[in-house]
Amino acid sequence: MTPSAAPLDHVRPGVDRSIRVFLDRQRPLFDDPQLAVLLSTAEDFLSGGKRLRPAFCYWGWRAAGGGEESGLLMAAASLELLQASALIHDDVMDASDVRRGMPSAHRRFERVHAESGWHGSAEQFGEGVAVLLGNLLLVWSGEMWRTSGLPAEALAVAQPVHDHMLTELMCGQYLDLLEQAQGESTFDGALRVALYKSGKYTVEQPLRLGLVLAARGRPAWIDRLCEQYGRQIGIAFQLRDDILGVFGDPAETGKPAGDDLREGKRTMLIARALAEASDAQAEAVRSLLGAPDLDEAGVERLRSVIEDTGALAACEGMIKSYLDDALHTLDQAPIDETARTALAALAVAATARRT
Amino acid sequence: MTPSAAPLDHVRPGVDRSIRVFLDRQRPLFDDPQLAVLLSTAEDFLSGGKRLRPAFCYWGWRAAGGGEESGLLMAAASLELLQASALIHDDVMDASDVRRGMPSAHRRFERVHAESGWHGSAEQFGEGVAVLLGNLLLVWSGEMWRTSGLPAEALAVAQPVHDHMLTELMCGQYLDLLEQAQGESTFDGALRVALYKSGKYTVEQPLRLGLVLAARGRPAWIDRLCEQYGRQIGIAFQLRDDILGVFGDPAETGKPAGDDLREGKRTMLIARALAEASDAQAEAVRSLLGAPDLDEAGVERLRSVIEDTGALAACEGMIKSYLDDALHTLDQAPIDETARTALAALAVAATARRT
C-alpha cells in the first residue's frame, strides 16, 4: 500500500488557520516588547509539524457523522499546541540541542542570554523560559479546546476524555524517563512506554475525541475502534519513530543522527536487540547506549547490532502486524465511508517508512 | 490592627477536604507501583500552604452573595494545585534546594535517582520529573476547576478570567526571569514583577473569580474592587514576601536565610536600596547580589545596605499605604458585611509582619 498524504492535506489549511486565529486573540497582551518573544517563539514552533493529531481528531469526527465545521477544526488544532508544549518540555528534559533542524527552545533563549551578556547562568535562563513557554502552550491548548465554538453538550461529553489524555501524557513521559534511568529493556516496558508516552495521545485519544464529539456519547463501538485501531496505530507510530530515531535521515527527522542512542532511549528496538544479542553485542549496547559523547562510529556499531540481531526486522514485522490488525478493525466499524478511506490512508502514513 | 487568621481558618477544612476528594478521584491510575510516587509527592506538596488563594476566592464569592457550597470550595481549592505547580516549576527554574523546609521536588527525585544508582544524570532526572509533576498539577488544577460541580452558567462567566489568569501567570514568571537576568533595578520594573508574578494570581484574580462566579457576571463594581483592593493587596503581599525573603526566619519561610539575595531577585527592596546607595553600598550590591556562593557575612552586608539606605522602611511604608487604600476601597464596596470583615482581616493577614 502506498502512503497517501491526502487525509493530512485535507486538514492542514483549516488547522493552520485555526492556530492563527487563536494566537491573534492572544496578541494584544504580547504587544509588550518584553513579552513579544514568547508569542513569536510559540508561533515558530507551531508552524511546523505534520498535523497528525488534529487529523486523527478530524477524521474521527467525520467517521461518526460530523460535517465540515470550523469549531471542530479549532478543537482539533488545539492538539498541536499540546504537542508543541510536550516537545519544548521534552527537549529540556533530554537536554536536546536540536528540534526540527533548528535550535530547541531552551537553546534559543540560552543564546539570547549569552549574546546579551546578561547576569547569571545562560543555560538556567534558557531552561526556565522553555519551561514557561511549554506551560503557556499547555494552558492555551486547553483554552483553545474549550473556546473552539463547538456546542457545550458535545464538549461536555468529550471533556473527561481530554482530561484523561493529559494525565496519561504526563504519566507516560514519566515512565519514559524512568525506563531510561533504570536502564531495563523488557518487551513489556518498551511497549508500555510506546503506548503511553506517545501512542495514546498521538492516535487513540485524538481519534476518540473526534468520535465522541460527533456522536455526543461513547457507544461501545467507539471504544472498540479506538482500542483496536487507534491503539495499534499509536504503538506502530511510536515503533516507526523509534526506528527513525536510530536509522532516520537527520534532514527528515530534524534531529542529529543517532540522537535516541545518545540519550539512551529504551525502545523496543533495544529490548529486541538485547534479547538476541551475543555477549559481544550486549557489551556494545551496555557501553555505548546513552553515552553522551557517542560518536558516529559508536552510532554505526549500535546500528549494526540492532540490524544483526534481527531487532530491526522484528520491529518492522510488529509494525506491519499492528497495521494489518488495525485496518481489519477499521473495515468492520460502523462509520462513514469517506472517513474509513481517510483513516486507512492516515494509518499507513503514520506508520510508513519515510523515503 | 492585629492580623486575624479567622477568615483563613474558616476556609481551610473545606479546601483540604476538596483536595483529598479530587486526588482520590485520580488514585486508580496511580495504583501502578511505578506511578504511585507522582501522586504521593503531589499530596505532600498540597498538604502545606496557607490556603490564601482559595480564601480570596471563597470570600469573593461570599462578598457577592454566594453561600456555603461544596462546589465553590472545590473550585477555590483548585487554585492550590496551580500554586503547587508554580512552586515546583519555580524551584527548578531557580535551582532551589529547599521548599517549605523540605527538599524541593527536583532534589527529591534527584536523590531517588542517586540512591538507586540509576543510569544517566541524577540532576537531569530530578529536573525532568519535577517539570512533569508541575505539568500534572497544572492540568489537574484546570480539571478540578471545571469539574467543581458549580453550575455551568457560573463557570462559563468565570472561565475567561481563569484563562487570563493562567496566561498572566506564565508571562509574570517570564518577566521575573528577565529582570533577574538583565539585572536592572527600576521601581517600575520591580512593581511590574510584583504585580504580574505573584500579586495578580494570589489576590486579584482569585478574588475576581469568586465574585464573578457568585454574581454570574462582571458588573463595574467588581472590577473596581478587584483593581483597587485586590491589586493593592497583591502588590503589598509580594512586597512582604520580598522582605521575608531577605529578613525572614528560615523556620517560618521554609527557605534558607537570604535565598532571594543569592538568587539575585530584583525586588523593590533592591531597587529602593540602589536608588539611595552610596558608591560603596552600590558596589556591595553589584558584587554580592546573585552570587551563588553568597555566605552569611555577605547576606548580612546586603541586609545592612537595605536597612541603611532606608529601603526597608520605604517598602514597609508602601505596604502600609497599599493596605490603607485597599481597606478604604473595601469599605465602599456594595458587598455582604460578613465578607467585608473577612476580606479586611485577610488583607491584613496577607501583608502583615510575621512574628
- Encode pLDDT of A149-169 as tens digits: 999 999 999 999 999 999 999
Q: Which of A138-142, B288-292, B334-338 has the lowest mean pLDDT?
A: B288-292
**Chain B residues near residue A131 by CB distance under 8 angstroms:** 89, 92-93, 131, 134
B307 CB contacts (<8 Å, ≥6 apart)? B313
> How far away is chain A from the Cα of B142, in angstroms, using its nearest Cα?
9
Q: Domain tally for chain B?
A: 1
Residue B355 has pLDDT above 70, yes or no: no
> How far away is chain A from the Cα of B197, in angstroms, using its nearest Cα?
12
Residue A14 has pLDDT above 70, yes or no: yes
> How far away is chain A from the Cα of B249, in angstroms, using its nearest Cα?
26
Residue B1 lies inside a defined structural domain of this protein:
no
Residue A188 has pLDDT above 50, yes or no: yes
Split at pLDDT 50, 70, 90, the class of A1 is: very low
Residue B344 has pLDDT above 90, yes or no: yes
Closest residue to A143, CB basis, from B29, B163, B173:
B163
> Would you state the pLDDT for residue A4?
63
The pLDDT tens digits of the residues spanning B320-334 come to 999 999 999 999 999
> Would you state the pLDDT for residue A49?
85
**Chain B residues near residue A128 by CB distance under 8 angstroms:** 92-94, 177
Cα distance between residue A22 and residue A20, in whole Å: 5
Cα distance between residue B276 and residue B285, in whole Å: 12
Residue B183 has pLDDT above 90, yes or no: no
Cα distance between residue B92 and residue B96, in whole Å: 7
> Would you state the pLDDT for residue A256?
84
Closest residue to A163, CB basis, from B118, B129, B143:
B143
The pLDDT tens digits of the residues spanning A233-251 come to 999 999 999 999 999 988 8
SS (H, E, C) chain B: CCCCCHHHHHHHHHHHHHHHHHHHHHHHHHHCCCCHHHHHHHHHHHCCCCCHHHHHHHHHHHHCCCCCCHHHHHHHHHHHHHHHHHHHHHHHHHCCCEECCEECHHHHHHHHHHHHCCCCCHHHHHHHHHHHHHHHHHHHHHHHHHCCCCCHHHHHHHHHHHHHHHHHHHHHHHHHHHHHHHCCCCHHHHHHHHHHHHHHHHHHHHHHHHHHHHHCCCCHHHHHHHHHHHHHHHHHHHHHHHHHHHHCCHHHHCCCCCHHHHHCCCCHHHHHHHHHCCHHHHHHHHHHCCCCCCCHHHHHHHHHHHHHCCHHHHHHHHHHHHHHHHHHHHHHCCCCHHHHHHHHHHHHHHHCCCC
Give this complex's ipTM.
Answer: 0.94
Span B38-57, average pLDDT: 95
> How far away is chain A from the Cα of B174, in angstroms, using its nearest Cα?
6
Residue B2 has pLDDT above 60, yes or no: no
> Would you state the pLDDT for residue A253?
83
Span A61-80, average pLDDT: 97
- A118 to B181: CB separation less than 8 angstroms, yes or no: yes
Cβ-Cβ contacts under 8 Å between A and B: the total is 146
**Chain A residues near residue B167 by CB distance under 8 angstroms:** 26, 29, 136, 139-140
Q: What is the dihedral of CA B313, B317, B323, B327, to 10 degrees?
A: 140
Residue A222 has pLDDT above 80, yes or no: yes
Residue A213 lies inside a defined structural domain of this protein:
yes
Residue B1 has pLDDT above 50, yes or no: no
How far is residue A198 from each of residues A240, B205, B260, measured CA to CA in Å? 12, 35, 39
Kindly state the DSSP code that residue A353 receives in the 8-state scheme.
P
Mean pLDDT, all residues of chain A: 94
Q: Is A102 helix (H, G, I), strand (E, B) or coil?
A: strand
Span B346-352, average pLDDT: 95
End-to-end CA distance of chain A: 14
* pLDDT > 90 fraction of chain A, expressed in percent and rounded: 81
Span B232-256, average pLDDT: 91
**Chain B residues near residue A163 by CB distance under 8 angstroms:** 139, 143, 147
> Would you state the pLDDT for residue B259?
85
- A92 to B26: CB separation less than 8 angstroms, yes or no: no
**Chain B residues near residue A182 by CB distance under 8 angstroms:** 116, 118-119
> Would you state the pLDDT for residue A185?
81
Query: Around Cβ A353, how many Cβ atoms within 10 Å?
Result: 12
> How far away is chain B from the Cα of A111, in angstroms, using its nearest Cα?
13
> Would you state the pLDDT for residue A353?
81
Closest residue to A132, CB basis, from B116, B173, B180:
B173
> Would you state the pLDDT for residue A208?
98
- A119 to B178: CB separation less than 8 angstroms, yes or no: no
Span B274-297, average pLDDT: 94
Residue B251 has pLDDT above 90, yes or no: no
The pLDDT tens digits of the residues spanning B65-95 come to 999 999 999 999 999 999 999 999 999 999 9
Closest residue to B290, CB basis, from A119, A135, A138:
A119
The parent domain of residue A343 ranges over 6-351
Residue A221 has pLDDT above 90, yes or no: yes
- C-alpha grid cell, residue A56: 486523527
Cα distance between residue A233 and residue A200, in whole Å: 9
> Would you state the pLDDT for residue B292?
85
Residue A297 lies inside a defined structural domain of this protein:
yes
Residue A1 lies inside a defined structural domain of this protein:
no
The pLDDT tens digits of the residues spanning B267-283 come to 999 999 999 999 999 99
CA nearest B80: which of B20, B163, B155?
A: B20
> How far away is chain A from the Cα of B293, in angstroms, using its nearest Cα?
12
Split at pLDDT 50, 70, 90, the class of A144 is: very high
**Chain A residues near residue B146 by CB distance under 8 angstroms:** 159
- We report the CATH number of the domain holding residue B84 as 1.10.600.10
Residue A2 has pLDDT above 50, yes or no: no
**Chain B residues near residue A146 by CB distance under 8 angstroms:** 159
Span B303-308, average pLDDT: 97
**Chain B residues near residue A145 by CB distance under 8 angstroms:** none
> Would you state the pLDDT for residue A254?
83
Q: Is A92 helix (H, G, I), strand (E, B) or coil?
A: helix
Residue B248 has pLDDT above 70, yes or no: yes
